[in-house]
Amino acid sequence: MNRSPRALAAMVVAPVAFGIAFVALWEAAVKVLDLQPYFLPPPSAIWREFQANAALIWEATKVSGSNALVGLVIGTVLGVALAFVLSRFRVLNELVTPLAVALNAVPIFVLVALFNNMFSVTSEVPRRLMVTLVVNFIVLVNVAKGLTQVDRTHVELMRSYAASEVAVLRKVRVPNAVPYLFIALKIAAPAAVITAFVSEYFGGSQNGLGSRIVGNIAISKNATAWGYVLGACLLGLAFYLAAVLAERAATPGRPQSAE
Amino acid sequence: MTNAVDVRGVSKAFNRGRPDEVRALVDVDLAIEPGEFVSMIGPSGCGKSTALRLMANLLEPTSGDVHVNGKPARKARLDQDYGMAFQQAGLFDWRNVTKNVELPLELKGWDRSRRRERALEMLHLVKLDEFAEHMPWQLSGGMQQRVAIARALAAHPPLLLMDEPFGALDEMTREHMQAELLRICGETSTTVVFVTHSIPEAVYLSTRVVVMSPRPGRITDVIDVDLGPRRDVDTREDPAFFKKITEVREALRGMERASSSEAAGPPQPAGMEDR
Ligand SMILES: Nc1ncnc2c1ncn2[C@@H]1O[C@H](COP(=O)(O)OP(=O)(O)O)[C@@H](O)[C@H]1O
Ligand SMILES: [Mg+2]
C-alpha cells in the first residue's frame, strides 16, 4: 500500500529514460564535436572495451567488491556494537557522536596511505580496514541516534508498565533503531565501494578496479579505463540496491525511510 | 472504602533552588472515589499534566503523599494499577494493532494465547475488531486513540489516567470519542482522571470538575456535575448542561460563581467553548 505499481514504474522509467538520453547525447557530442579518444571516448567505444575486457574487469570487480563487502560487514557489526555501548552512557555518546560526525566530513580514506606502511605491500588489509572505518562511523552515528531518540510518550508508557531497562531496550529502543540502521546502510553501501577503490590509488597491489583505472590512464588506454569506470559504477549500484532490498525484506509493508 | 486516588498536601517544584525554579503545584489535596469520572481543567501551564504524572508516579512530589488504590503511587505503578493515555496515541509503529494492545500484558508476563484473547476482547470493546491486524499508520487519528484506550485498559486496571487524549481530534470525532469513552468506562467500571482544557468536554464527561489556576498551580474550585446518565445529543442540548458550562467557565475566570438564582443566561452552543 506504500507504493502503487504505477508509482514504482514511474520511479524506474524516468531515470532509465534519462540515462538513455544522456548516453545518446554523449555519443552525438563526441561525433559532432569530433572529440579525440584521449579526451573523451564515445559510449560505443567504452562498451566495446568493456566487452573485450569483461573477464579482466570482472576479476578486478571481485577484488574491489570483496574488499568493500568485508569492510561493510565488519564496519556494520562494529558500528552497531559501539552504538549500543555509546547509547548506554549518555556522556560518552555526547562526546563521541560529534567527533564521529566531524570525522565523517573529512576524507579520512587518505589514512590508507599510513595503513599501507603497516602491512605488506600486497595485503588487502589496509583497504578493508579503511572501508571498515568509514562504514563504522556512518552506522555508529545513525544507530546511536535510533537507540536514544525515542518518543517521549513511549518512554512514559513503558515506565507506567513498570518495564525494566532491558525491556525498554528490547521493545522500544532496538525496534526504533531498525529504520536508522537501514538509512545508514543505504549511505554506507555505496560509500564502502567508493572507499574500496579510492583506497587503491594509494599504492598496494594493482589488482582492483581503482588501480586498473589509474594503470590504463597511465598507458593512454582511455576507453579501457572508462570500461573499468563502468564496472565501478555497476558495483556501487549493486551495493546500493542490495541495501534497499535488505530494507524492504526486513520491514515489509512499512513506509520506507527517505532514500 | 479505599479511594481510587488520594493526593494529600502535594507540592511539586521543578529545578529547585535554581533561578529557573517553577512551582508547578502547591498544596494540592484531592480524593477520588472508585467509579468517579474527574476532569482537571485550567489554563495551559497550571500543572494539570504534572498532577496526572504524580498520580502515575512518573514524577515524585517535592512534598506530600500520593496514594493510588490505597497504595503508595510507586507501588501502584509497579502493580500496573492504572492505565494511561496521552494526546499522542503513542502506538508502536513496528507492532500491529493487536500487538500494541498486548504490550502491557507482555510486560506482566502473560502467555501468548491469554494475551491475544484479551487484546481481541479489548478491540471488540472499542469496536475495532476488523482492524486487529492493521498497522498503526493505517488508522485515522480517532481510531489510533481508541487503540490507545484499549491498550490502557487491557490489564483491566481500576484507574485510567488521561492527558488531553482527544486534544488532537476534530470536533465531530471528539464528541463521538467522548460518548464512547463513557460507554467503555461504564462497561468496565473504571475510575477516570481526565485532563482537558475544553469546558464542554469536562462537563459532558465528568461527575466532578476540578478547576485549577496557574503560578503557582493550585486547585481553586471543585464543581459537582449531576446531569444523570449522558445521552450524547440530548445531553449536549440540555439547558442544565449549558448551566454547568457557565458555572465552570466562571470558576475558570475567577468570577463569583452564579448564585442559586436560576438565571442560566442564553444557552451557548457547545463547540464555542473549545479553546
Ligand atoms: N520537567 C519539567 N521541568 C521544568 N518545568 C516543568 C517540567 N514539566 C512541567 N514544567 C513546568 O510546570 C508547569 C506546569 O506544567 P504542566 O503540568 O505541563 O501544565 P499543563 O499540563 O497544565 O499545561 C509549567 O510552568 C511547566 O513549564
Ligand atoms: Mg499538559
User: Which ligand approaches the C-alpha of residue B164 most closely?
Assistant: 2
Range ranked top by mean pLDDT from A43-52, B27-36, B256-265: B27-36
pLDDT of residue A257: 52
Ligand 1 atom 4, closest CA: B14
Stretch A88-110: mean pLDDT: 74
Report the CATH number that the domain containing residue B60 is assigned in CATH. 3.40.50.300
Task: Tell me the backbone φ, ψ of residue A226, rounded to 5 degrees.
Answer: -65, -35
B99 in any annotated domain: no
Q: Does position B267 have pLDDT exceeding 60, yes or no?
A: no
Radius of gyration of chain B (CA): 19
pLDDT at res. A123: 80
The superfamily CATH assigns to domain A36-250 is: MetI-like (1.10.3720.10)
CB of B103 within 8 Å of a chain A CB? The answer is: yes
Distance CA B193, CA A252 (A): 39
Residue B176 has pLDDT above 70, yes or no: yes
Chain B residue with the nearest C-alpha to that of A1: B138
Q: Is residue B26 part of a domain?
A: yes
pTM comes to 0.81
**Which chain B residues are closer than 8 Å to A178 by Cβ?**
94
Q: Is B83 on the interface with A (CB under 8 A)?
A: yes
Q: How many domains does chain B have?
A: 1
The Å distance, Cα B53 to ligand 1 centre, comes to 11
Atom of ligand 1 nearest to the CA of B59: 1
* Mutation test residue for ligand 1: of B11, B50, B53, B196, the one with most atoms within 8 Å of CB: B50
Grid cell at residue A87: 547509547
Q: In this prediction, does ipTM exceed 0.85?
A: no
A175/B84 Cβ within 8 A: no
In a domain, B8, yes or no: yes
What pLDDT score was predicted for residue B273?
42
pLDDT tens string A158-213: 999 999 989 999 999 999 999 999 999 999 999 999 988 888 887 777 788 888 88
Tell me, in angstroms, the distance from the centre of ligand 1 to residue B24's CA.
6
Pairing of strands B63-68, B71-72: antiparallel
Q: Looking at ligand 1, which residue's alpha carbon is closest to its atom 8? A: B50
pLDDT at A117 over 60: yes
Over pLDDT 70: what percentage of chain A?
94
- The stretches of A89-151 forming alpha helices (DSSP H) are 90-105, 112-118, 125-148
**Does some domain include residue B102?**
no
Whether chain A has a CB inside 8 Å of the CB on B167: the answer is: no
A contacts of B56 (beta carbons < 8 Å)? 156, 160
Which atom number of ligand 1 is nearest to the Cα of residue B51? 17
Q: Which long-range contacts (C-beta less than 8 Å, at least 24 apart) are formed by B223-228?
A: B223/B247, B223/B248, B223/B251, B227/B203
Any residues with CB less than 8 A from the CB of B6 and at least 6 apart, and which? B30, B31, B32, B65, B66, B67, B68, B70
Q: Reduced to 3 states, what is the DSSP secondary structure of residue B229?
A: coil
Q: Is the link from the previous residue into B165 a cis peptide, with omega within 30 of 0? A: no
Residues B92-115 pLDDT 10s: 999 999 999 999 999 999 999 999
CB within 8 Å: B137 and A163: no
Range of the domain at B67: 1-81+159-165+191-255
pLDDT higher than threshold 70 for residue B161: yes
Closest Cβ opposite residue A153 in set B56, B86, B103: B86
